[in-house]
């Protein structure tokens, strides 16, 4: 084989493998739904924007997260600059080189989408609709001018029904945190709600938690997530002498589980490790840990003990 033929074959293989990598890295509609449904439900429980609408808009506007705007700017909702003071990118849309918002992460894009809808009076009438009325929301978004596509509402509805996104509305609609938050606004439809204004929400054992920041307080975190004063201490097994919030690295913002994740069946106790610390590490209630291990409540494990999590 001549050197020229060999190099040509080598270039072809590199090119083909590059194409294969690009293809495999693209998100399918199902991939997108699985990856972002938690944030869509969070939007709904905090602000009242239906989870189905958030997901359908994200899928449609970002091509399931594969569009240039989504990949290069983390912009999943096609939100243009308007009064934006952050980073910007320019992209051909209705006109050439239109200005779009650029985000540090997809998470920021979801947060800004919720803020965008709750902070503008032209979308205020949507919040008078039932939170599970995805058809009314789809038509209302089109009427309010979210998109210029005359078939925008139909395209959203088709996506919601094809992938049964309305099932996420049932999950989000079972909680009422967003209603309590909305009631604190100055007037209906004119207040601004930022559902992720300070803390990024993480998951451990299927339980939501936030990392504690130096400026945090118990009451501040509770107010941010629409919790009553007693909920945050109870969710984290904290007694009356709980100290300062900064004594903790992270706090759960919903009840911990009765059992550990199936992948975590037991824990080997280290030096000076407490039952509380083990409970927090695995997102399991302290009361459950004591019961599972047949230990009296309040007793601490010894180094080398193996604590069962399930």
Nearest-angstrom CA–CA distance, 125 and 112 = 19
pLDDT at 14 over 50: no
In this model, does residue 283 exceed pLDDT 70? yes
Tens digits of per-residue pLDDT, 184-222? 333 333 333 344 446 777 778 878 888 888 888 888 888
pLDDT of residue 151: 95
> Residue 77 in contact with residue 53, Cβ under 8 Å?
no
The predicted model gives 94-98 an average pLDDT of 75
Section 146-156 average pLDDT: 93
Average pLDDT over residues 12-30: 56
Mean pLDDT of 11-36: 64
- For range 165-181, the mean pLDDT: 63
Looking at 69-83, 170-184, 281-295, which range is the least confident one? 170-184
Task: Give residue 173's pLDDT.
Answer: 61
Q: Is the pLDDT of residue 23 over 60?
A: no
Higher pLDDT, 135 or 39: 135
31 vs 197 pLDDT, higher one: 31
Q: Please compute Rg for the chain using Cα positions.
A: 24
CA dist., res. 195 & res. 197, Å (int): 6
Contacts of 87 (CB under 8 A, 6+ apart): 73, 101, 102, 103
Q: What is the pLDDT of residues 228-267, one digit of tens each?
A: 888 899 999 988 778 888 888 999 988 898 988 877 889 9
Among residues 137, 131, 135, 284, the alpha carbon closest in space to that of 206 is found at 284
pLDDT band for position 75 (cuts 50, 70, 90): very high
Task: Please compute the mean of the pLDDT values over residues 18-38 and round it to a whole number.
Answer: 74
Question: Please, what is the average pLDDT of the chain?
Answer: 81
Summarize the confidence of residues 54-68 as an average pLDDT: 95
More confident residue, 261 or 286: 286
pLDDT at position 7 is: 39
pLDDT band at 93 (very low <50, low <70, confident <90, very high): low
Q: Three-state SS for 197?
A: coil
Comparing CA positions, the residue from 183, 235, 234 lying closest to residue 209 is 235
| Residue 13 confidence class, pLDDT cut points 50, 70, 90 | very low
Report the b/e string of 76-112 with b at 16+ CB within 10 A. Answer: bbbbeeeeeeeeebebeeeeeeeebbbbeebebbbbb
Q: When comparing pLDDT for 44 and 77, which is higher?
A: 77
């Amino acid at each position: 084989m001549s050197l020229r033929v060999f190099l040509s074959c080598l270039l072809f293989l590199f090119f083909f493998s590059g194409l294969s990598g690009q293809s495999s890295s693209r998100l399918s509609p199902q991939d997108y739904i699985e990856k972002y449904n938690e944030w869509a439900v969070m939007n709904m429980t905090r602000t009242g924007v239906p989870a189905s609408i958030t997901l359908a808009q994200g899928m449609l506007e970002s091509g399931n997260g594969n569009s240039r705007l989504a990949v290069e700017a983390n912009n999943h909702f096609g939100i243009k600059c308007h009064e934006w003071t952050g980073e910007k990118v320019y992209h051909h849309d209705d006109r050439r080189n239109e200005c779009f918002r650029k985000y540090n992460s997809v998470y920021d894009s979801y947060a800004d989408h919720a803020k965008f809808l709750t902070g503008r009076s032209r979308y205020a009438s949507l919040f008078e609709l039932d939170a599970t009325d995805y058809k009314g929301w789809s038509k209302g978004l089109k009427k309010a001018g979210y998109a210029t596509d005359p078939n925008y509402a139909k395209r959203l509805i088709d996506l919601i029904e094809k992938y049964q996104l309305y099932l996420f509305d049932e999950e989000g609609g079972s909680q009422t945190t967003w209603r309590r938050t909305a009631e604190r606004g100055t007037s209906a439809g004119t207040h601004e709600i930022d559902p992720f204004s300070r803390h990024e929400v993480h998951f451990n054992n299927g339980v939501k938690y936030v990392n504690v920041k130096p400026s945090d307080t118990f009451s501040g975190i509770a107010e941010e997530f629409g919790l009553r004063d007693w909920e945050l201490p109870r969710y984290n097994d904290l007694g009356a002498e709980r100290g300062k919030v900064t004594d903790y690295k992270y706090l759960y913002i919903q009840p911990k589980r009765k059992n550990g994740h199936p992948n975590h069946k037991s824990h080997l106790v280290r030096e000076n490790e407490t039952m509380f610390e083990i409970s927090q590490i695995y997102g399991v209630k302290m009361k459950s840990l004591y019961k599972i291990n047949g230990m009296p409540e309040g007793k601490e494990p010894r180094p080398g003990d193996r604590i069962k999590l399930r």
